[in-house]
């Protein structure tokens, strides 16, 4: 039953992460790729590319996964700041504790209009499945492409 619930949650969170729903995704193409290459990617891979698109704009190192790479919330703080600097400052980066930094980052995401889908304690565990739902919620709120 838990597996079915997870699949339903994932489907709902990821439904708009495709070219049909968001044609601006073409901006995530890498050199030499065609749209058909982008269409073959899993939504999680598109979210990683999307995060890296905004991290590059923030002059930050890219991520390779939605789990451990996001556990300290720093990359998410930078992406939120790129998407909505008025509501999402970089102040959370001054926080030493990962959980407290996550609390501040989640508060910023809520100020931007992101649905409340994750707790700070869950984020810092680095679970890629749970974190992907949160990243999808950010994308669905404001993709910035």
Mean pLDDT of 24-32: 89
39-43 long-range contacts, CB within 8 A, separation 24+: 43/14, 43/17, 43/18, 43/136
Give the Cα separation of 76 and 69 in Å (integer): 10
The answer to whether the beta carbons of residues 85 and 114 sit under 8 Å apart is: no
Confidence of residue 9 (pLDDT cuts 50, 70, 90): low
Domains delineated in the chain: 2-141 (1.10.418.10)
Say whether pLDDT at 99 is over 90.
yes
Mean pLDDT of 4-13: 68
Say whether pLDDT at 123 is over 90.
yes
Alpha carbon distances (Å) from 97 to 49, 55, 100, 113: 27, 22, 5, 25
Taking only the tens place, the pLDDT of each residue in 50-76 is: 999 999 999 999 999 999 999 999 999
Give the Cα separation of 10 and 52 in Å (integer): 21
Taking only the tens place, the pLDDT of each residue in 127-142 is: 888 899 999 999 999 9
What is the pTM (predicted TM-score) of this model? 0.89
Confidence of residue 18 (pLDDT cuts 50, 70, 90): confident
């Amino acid at each position: 039953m838990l597996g079915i619930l997870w699949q339903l949650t994932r489907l709902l969170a990821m439904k708009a992460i495709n070219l049909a729903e968001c044609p601006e995704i073409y901006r995530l193409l890498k050199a030499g790729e065609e749209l058909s290459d982008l269409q073959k990617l899993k939504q999680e891979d598109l979210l990683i590319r999307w995060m890296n698109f905004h991290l590059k704009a923030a002059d930050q190192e890219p991520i390779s996964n939605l789990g451990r790479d996001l556990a300290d919330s720093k990359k998410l703080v930078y992406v939120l700041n790129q998407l909505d600097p008025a509501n999402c400052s970089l102040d959370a980066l001054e926080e030493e504790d990962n959980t407290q930094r996550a609390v501040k980052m989640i508060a910023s995401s809520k100020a931007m209009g992101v649905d409340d889908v994750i707790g700070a304690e869950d984020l810092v565990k680095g679970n890629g499945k749970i974190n992907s739902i949160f990243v999808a919620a950010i994308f669905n709120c404001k993709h910035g492409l």
